[in-house]
Amino acid sequence: MLSAVVEELKNTLVATIQGTDDVLTALRTAVKNQVVGVLKNASDVVEAAVVSVQSTGTSVVVAAREATTAAVKAVGETGGDVLKTGAEAVSGAVKGAGDVGADVGQVAVSAVEGVVSTLTELGKDVTEGTREALVSAVKAADELGAEAGSSVRNALLSAASLPKDLVNSVLGK
């Protein structure tokens, strides 16, 4: 069940992306505007973004990465805390995947990859940002249930794109 804030954001995002030729570009722009313009929690915005693409035929996994990236970039452009925003965005992506019954493991990996690439691009502390994003992914998945938590842990452990030592450290392996 979506919170009132996430439901309102979802409706705004659906109205923005419906009927556009390029759903992902519209989604990135809408996420950026929501995070910066209204100072909404990145978790809520990204969760709403993931939920809002369900009816467009756009991959939830791809949308999660794009929304996470857009949120982190938007906060980075305003001088805000990109590490915190990255963790919040990953949490929102995982929750959104759970809301629509998508593969939470794939979404978690995609969202964390988005944080890593964006922090690299912005010249921020990638190691700490990745750690916070990983912790956030696991925490959000555990809140969804044991099966989601297990799925996210397994996906993170098997993701070739993520630093194994850091993933193992966060997951206690």
Domain residue ranges in the chain: 4-171
> Residue 7: its pLDDT value, please?
79
pLDDT above 90: residue 86: yes
For residue range 111-158, what is the model confidence (pLDDT) as tens digits? 999 999 999 999 999 999 999 999 999 999 999 999 999 999 999 999
User: Long-range contacts: 162-170, Cβ < 8 Å, 24+?
Assistant: 162/109, 162/112, 162/113, 162/116, 162/130, 162/134, 163/127, 163/130, 166/127, 166/130, 166/131, 166/134, 167/134, 169/131, 170/131, 170/134, 170/135, 170/138
For residue range 45-77, what is the model confidence (pLDDT) as tens digits? 999 999 998 878 889 999 999 999 999 999 998
> Residue 1: its pLDDT value, please?
63
Confidence band of 87 (pLDDT split at 50, 70, 90): very high
> Residue 39: its pLDDT value, please?
56
For residue range 7-43, what is the model confidence (pLDDT) as tens digits? 788 888 888 877 787 888 887 788 887 887 765 688 9
What pTM did the predictor assign? 0.91
